[in-house]
Structure 1
């Protein structure tokens, strides 16, 4: 028997025992965890994910999902609009919060390593309604973000080749389709491709960082302590108020985000329970550093703050000023690579999340039997398609920008539940083994809950309304799941 076969059999046997215990507990508690009632398909057929990835592979996949280049050049724009140069202080604060969130994720993931990622962690630690709300906030990102990434690739490709004869929506769909195709092949292929493209990204960001810090025009201290933003006419600046800073907290979650993708590969990681906690913390720390430093470099290199804040891409404005017009081609190429890399990693990550919901029997049986199975490469093919197809359709609609901004609210809501779960697990599940234990408990989960709760409270009504709709949908499905 090969080591791979032995590992697969051990995983299957473990899940068989876990499923039996879950069923006994569910009967005793009269259905306290509705929806998790079907026998997982891989228990019946031996169709389990296989341990084929190293910690380096998983960190690389998570970094591809983070996509530092995309974060610096694209996602940071929303924070510059809402908070001006306060983006410097907000992102430094976010770096601390990200590490605390990663500590919570690391401990929970070492307790419950699963392809379901954050959805599984909430399901295992909080009552069922929280699980369903998290599930929709979590999985919907797997459709919205790839659609926006596809359109982003089209825009930067057109900037690089203005006469490119293919419509943007077609480019977006082709990009999504190619990413989905690779995601449905052997996981090692996607892992090596993403690691290679991460090195390309870091090279581009290194050039940006050197250019920024060698052409300093602004004081970093003033940017952090005395931030400014554009006035209503766009011709001047004024001091940023706390209201604007608070409103920028949820959009800032979009910038340093994606490190949680390490969780989705927990069942394919060698020594998963031991190493998954380390992988997600390393991914969070590396992501924070590779995003914050180039972002600060671009801000101090801005020759004029009004021009910087008015630019469609403030970071690109600084880079072109410091490096000259040829920088446009370097940045365009780097961003295209980064966007595709992020799309590929997202498909691989969220595809496993969808697969886990089917494997856990969360939906009607006909759906579970389809999305809860693996293809000949031992990866969730049908689950990946359930993300790729609606992402292609969504790229044709004009409200995608609103959904992308709303994704910051969804991310904050998921992390709020993670903070609650990390705190409650220590209180109520003391007998569960924790190969990775977060330091400074209970400060990390308490700070995460307080910060994300305040970020949600500070959001615009339109985004809070969207979150309320998702909560209602989740609760309705939770009730319907009792029939399933």
Structure 2
């Protein structure tokens, strides 16, 4: 197997067995600092919309036990981040997880990982956008429909995602400052008027049948999957590897710094919300638990300001996600994982913006389509399952990489190996098993099965014959 270049990690122009060029003579420009990469990565995680749009599912599942779910999810996220850091420093590429899996386990596992990550990248913008309309309407006093708002956000985000990545780093960074300000405002509300002590976090309660009962492991553990979804995105720094200046260790730094920022700006306001909620029963039962706390502790003007900030954070998140996922599709075209025409289009770099513009735009159609076919809770549950599958693969690759790929220099070595990847594997595996076992929609298993079948067909038709992919 051929090692990637230390300076760029990019495969230079080559051809597959069909004679398809793997690139059009241009590569991604190394223009980002670690700080830039962290701004884009954290923006993609969108801590504010994670807390407002996704975290309510954990609160409804586990009540005040959601804090414990998020703490346990943070431990797992830290283990996952260490795995990402070591793998991305050793296997630097805009392809991210699928390149890691391919170089450690071979072509078929690598390709199946690519399809899984691609599916996640299509679903997440729709998940976030589908929950944005209530915040826009509350901020402006309007009554826009959920689907029209979601579609507009998705399409505008893909258009902005084509711009020069340095420009987008400043755009996402500016939005991120507003987003963190909103979260700290909420944290200030909760901590300034607490209705219970911190000891309540160790004895969590959840609403059931109109009464509060102790939150058991059966309620807390499934909510860990939701917490991981809220943290998800720190690994997206690996898709910016070829845009990042400096050595391979800078990719590892971008991953770890991103997670640290995410943990702080999500955990602090969540703890404040649980401690400051006037009624745990109302918090646990509410369809909008964070909004409930803001309305009870604040005033209508504050509620509108917060809603406006959340809406902007959703928009910002999708822009950042689009940027990173465009790099994923660009890498897949460069490695000839598609039919000839798609490979050429996806690996084309815009002469002015230095971005994989066609690869970025290609994902707009399926993301926009999902806005019309699924509800937010259905999209969230299914996406969590896919994310856990990806994390499971990353943990296994981190465990095996030092043993299987002794020819590759591991520029960053995680502490406590092999314990760290074993924790990641056990956590992802158990959480995935729990979420599937408690799923109310068995159709999710059929969809995952259908994705697997489609992936095998596509692999046989295109990827298996790609010289570029085999030589990766």
Same fold (TM over 0.5): yes
Structural mapping, 1:138-157, within 5 Å: 138-157=117-136
For 2:254 and 2:21, locate their aligned partners in 1 and report how far apart those are by CA, in whole Å.
27
For 1:9 and 1:387, locate their aligned partners in 2 and report how far apart those are by CA, in whole Å.
29
Alignment match of 1:304 (pick from 250, 255, 279): 279
| Deviation, structure 1 residue 483 | 5.4
For 2:415 and 2:195, locate their aligned partners in 1 and report how far apart those are by CA, in whole Å.
40
For 1:305 and 1:9, locate their aligned partners in 2 and report how far apart those are by CA, in whole Å.
53
Task: Say if 1:38 and 1:244 are closer, same or farther in 2 by CA, change over 3 A.
Answer: farther
Bigger Cα displacement from structure 2, 284-293 vs 149-158: 149-158
| Deviation, structure 1 residue 400 | 4.9
Cα distance per residue 1:350-376 (max 9 Å; x no partner): 111111111111112121111121122
Alignment match of 2:64 (pick from 77, 82, 85): 85
Alignment match of 2:11 (pick from 4, 9, 15): 15
How does the TM-score come out when normalised to structure 2?
0.91
Is 1:392 paired with 2:368?
yes
Is 1:237 paired with 2:212?
yes
Is 1:194 paired with 2:172?
yes
Q: What SS does structure 2 have at the residue aligned with 1:254?
A: helix
Q: What residue is the counterpart of 1:418 in the other structure?
A: 394
Q: What residue is the counterpart of 1:60 in the other structure?
A: 39
CA RMSD after TM alignment: 2.3
Where in structure 1 are there 5+ consecutive unaligned residues?
A: 1-7, 21-34
For 2:360 and 2:181, locate their aligned partners in 1 and report how far apart those are by CA, in whole Å.
30
Q: What residue is the counterpart of 1:5 in the other structure?
A: none
| Deviation, structure 1 residue 52 | 0.7
Q: What SS does structure 2 have at the residue aligned with 1:229?
A: strand
Cα distance per residue 1:414-470 (max 9 Å; x no partner): 000000001110111123112221111111111100110001111235244443333
Bigger Cα displacement from structure 2, 146-155 vs 210-219: 146-155
Q: What residue is the counterpart of 2:469 in the other structure?
A: none
Structural mapping, 1:241-280, within 5 Å: 241-280=216-255
Q: What SS does structure 2 have at the residue aligned with 1:255?
A: helix
For 1:49 and 1:456, locate their aligned partners in 2 and report how far apart those are by CA, in whole Å.
35
**Contact map agreement 1:62 1:283 (CA 8 A) in 2:** yes
Alignment match of 1:480 (pick from 455, 461, 467): 461
**Contact map agreement 2:68 2:220 (CA 8 A) in 1:** no
For 1:54 and 1:362, locate their aligned partners in 2 and report how far apart those are by CA, in whole Å.
30
For 1:151 and 1:87, locate their aligned partners in 2 and report how far apart those are by CA, in whole Å.
23
Where in structure 2 are there 5+ consecutive unaligned residues?
A: 467-472
For 1:427 and 1:36, locate their aligned partners in 2 and report how far apart those are by CA, in whole Å.
31
Aligned length: 455
Task: Say if 1:38 and 1:75 are closer, same or farther in 2 by CA, change over 3 A.
Answer: farther
Is 1:102 paired with 2:81?
yes
For 2:60 and 2:412, locate their aligned partners in 1 and report how far apart those are by CA, in whole Å.
39
For 1:207 and 1:142, locate their aligned partners in 2 and report how far apart those are by CA, in whole Å.
30
For 2:434 and 2:287, locate their aligned partners in 1 and report how far apart those are by CA, in whole Å.
25
Q: What SS does structure 2 have at the residue aligned with 1:52?
A: coil
**Contact map agreement 1:113 1:272 (CA 8 A) in 2:** no
Task: Say if 1:325 and 1:400 are closer, same or farther in 2 by CA, change over 3 A.
Answer: closer
| Deviation, structure 1 residue 171 | 2.6
| Deviation, structure 1 residue 297 | 0.6
